[in-house]
Amino acid sequence: MELVNIKDIEEFYRTGKRADNDALNRLRERAFLILNDPQHPYFRDAVYGEKWRKLLNGLNAFIKNELELKKLPFEQFTFTIESRGGLSNHFDLFIRVHNLTDISFEFKFKSMPQFANYQESHGYIQKSLPEMWYNGPLKDICALYTDLKIPLPDFESYNIGCRQFLNGNSKDSFYKQFRAYDQKTNPIYKKKEVITATGIKKYLLENANTFNIVKLKKKLLEDQTGKVYGIWNPLTASFKRYEIKSEELKPTSVYGVKDNHLYLTTESKDTMLDLYLRWKNTNGICNPMWQISLKSTNKLPKGITFLNNIPHTNSTINIISHS
């Protein structure tokens, strides 16, 4: 476990556009472990102590509200926090309120952009994205670069390698060499972005009709039922409670495609599932993943391509053109 720096508390009070990313959220999740010790010297620090105390008070208020909802005594309680983040777990923090209850706590900073991340290798669509990618968009991406030192491997090797998590410590490979080029000011990178976006949209339009609704429903109900979200507001130093309704976790049919987003109807008349397909770890190269969020049926984007060969079984949804 990495050490928590006293200055890490500042990341709970950022308000800029770059305040919410995976690295910062992992840092925040680690910082919660300081709250296990109310006597920790960080709370008494002259510079940062007040912000640490506000975080502790905010979590205490959240837990108190949770106990009230469960009709449990809330006047006095103690708790222990354990970190549970990572794709192998389905929530960030396990909060044990001693002798009362346990809380599967998912931390969100300012808003809830997505509630689940599932690797594309789970096989929700019959034809995998790497199958389509290898002889199509990937070849176009490689053609942009004249100085690639490590060539594209055969498909079997690629189908394994493209699903890895790359970082600075990863060994040199076909995949890692692209990290040096992935600067957004690089004109080649911008061309790669266009190829990637166009390729994912094409893949979804051609293959989304094979999406396994039943498989995703089972996964969502297993992973998300009973999870409680705490959405931190840096301006008020407080948590807003959110819990996804059971019917929102039950997809019923494929609705349509917009860019690299696939929309599924659910048993809720007010909500759809928004499945955002992306290469999360070096754009167009590594780690294809579904990032799943909820979308109000009243706030769907314009330009959705409806997949009319799929029956829209949720009769409460009015299927109209958004073009």
Residue 158 pLDDT exceeds 60: yes
What is the DSSP code string of 7-32?
Answer: GGGGGGS--SGGG-SHHHHHHHHHHG
How many other C-beta atoms can be found within 10 angstroms of the C-beta atom of residue 186? Answer: 12
What tens digit of pLDDT does each residue of 81-92 get?
A: 998 765 455 568
Q: Is residue 166's pLDDT more than 70?
A: yes
3 state SS of 170? coil
Q: Does pTM surpass 0.85?
A: no
Distance CA 7, CA 217 (A): 41
Judge whether residue 322 has pLDDT over 60. Answer: no
The answer on pLDDT for 250 being more than 60 is yes
Using one digit for the tens of pLDDT, what is the confidence trace for 288-315? 999 999 999 999 999 999 985 444 443 3
For 91-136, what is each residue's pLDDT tens digit? 689 999 999 999 989 899 988 878 999 999 999 999 999 999 999 9
Per the prediction, the chain carries an average pLDDT of 88
Provide the percentage of residues in the chain whose pLDDT is more than 70.
89
Task: Assign 180 a pLDDT band (cuts: 50, 70, 90).
Answer: confident
Percent with pLDDT over 90 in the chain: 71
| pLDDT per residue as tens digits for the range 182-221 | 776 678 888 999 999 999 999 999 999 999 999 999 999 9
How much is the pLDDT for 192? Answer: 93
Q: What pLDDT does residue 181 have?
A: 77
Dump pLDDT digits (tens) for 20-40: 567 788 889 899 999 999 999
Q: How many angstroms separate the CA atoms of 14 and 2, rounded? A: 21
Alpha carbon distance 53, 235 (integer Å): 15
pLDDT confidence of residue 86: 54
What are the respective helix, strand and coil percentages of the chain, to the nearest 5? 35, 20, 40
| Residue 157, pLDDT above cutoff 80 | yes
* DSSP-assigned letter for residue 86: S
What's the pLDDT at 238?
A: 97
pLDDT of residue 316: 36
Residue 236: pLDDT band by 50, 70, 90 thresholds?
very high
Amino acid at 254: V
With left for phi above 0 and alpha for psi between -120 and 50, is residue 86 left, alpha or beta?
Answer: left
Instruction: Give the CA dihedral 86, 214, 199, 202, nearest 10 degrees.
Output: -160
Is the model's pLDDT at 179 over the cut of 90?
A: no
> 69 CB contacts (<8 Å, ≥6 apart)?
none
pLDDT of residue 20: 56
CB atoms < 10 A from the CB of 280, how many? 18
Band (pLDDT 50/70/90 cuts) for residue 2 is: low
* Half-sphere exposure for 78 (CA within 13 Å, toward CB): 5
Nearest Cα residue to 128 out of 183, 186, 204: 204
pLDDT of 256 over the 80 cut: yes
Residues 6 or more apart whose CB falls under 8 angstroms from that of 59 comprise: 32, 35, 230, 239
